[in-house]
Amino acid sequence: MMLGIEIRYSLQGAWRLFRRDPAGIILFNPTLAGYWRSFWAAIIVAPAFVLLDVLVNHGQAEYDLRYLLIHLIAYVIDWTAFPVAMLSVADGMGKRSLYLRYIAAYNWSSLVQMACLLPTALLAIAIPHPVTLLLAQGITVWLLVYRAYIARIALQTGWGMPIAIVLLDILLASAGRQVTELLLRGTL
């Protein structure tokens, strides 16, 4: 399948899952090639990620080569740590055969998530009011539920394991941010 067509199908699948349509899962390529191509989502989302980082850290960080390299490395690690950890989790659950499709759905869903987060974050930054901050937090919670829903549908399981998987994702991302901060401060 050509990358452009796969991106279109994958985005349709991610959108359908966002709308709680479980049939959206069939639009993701469950092959090893589909798994690897899903990491194109990291490249597509990167400019929005950089924009958010600049806006959130405006004036708080020196944007030099060291800062950019540390964040680039952290971004790559963030995109690879969860799929690596999930390989063991999927094995432990007896869901190895569903792993490739799950990670493809997880990766491509980041575009839908960023489409929700970016305007909300921009609004919260432009109008730092409790209502906009509450809206941003509400959307963040909704997107965590979306991630759990993707895990539930893709891994064909009840809600307990997907909730644990989202918590694992949050812990890995938090650990990555902590290490990034230590590297930026020069204390690691």
Cα–Cα distance measured from residue 179 to residue 25, given in angstroms and rounded to the nearest whole number: 34
pLDDT in 10s for each residue of the chain, 188 residues: 688 999 999 999 999 999 999 999 999 999 999 999 999 999 999 999 888 877 776 655 566 778 888 888 999 999 999 999 999 999 999 999 999 999 999 999 999 999 999 999 899 888 989 999 899 999 999 999 999 999 999 999 999 999 999 999 999 999 998 998 898 888 87
CB contact at 8 A, 34 and 28: yes
Amino acid 1: pLDDT:
66
Q: What's the pTM?
A: 0.92
Q: What is the CA radius of gyration of the chain?
A: 17
123-128, long-range: CB within 8 Å, 24+ apart, which pairs?
A: 125/55, 125/56
Residue with token string 């901050």 = 133
Q: Are 11 and 112 in contact (CB under 8 A)?
A: yes
**What residues contact residue 140 under an 8 Å CB cut-off, 6+ apart?**
117
Contact 152/162 with Cβ under 8 angstroms?
Answer: yes
Contacts of 167 (CB under 8 A, 6+ apart): none
Residue type, 143: L
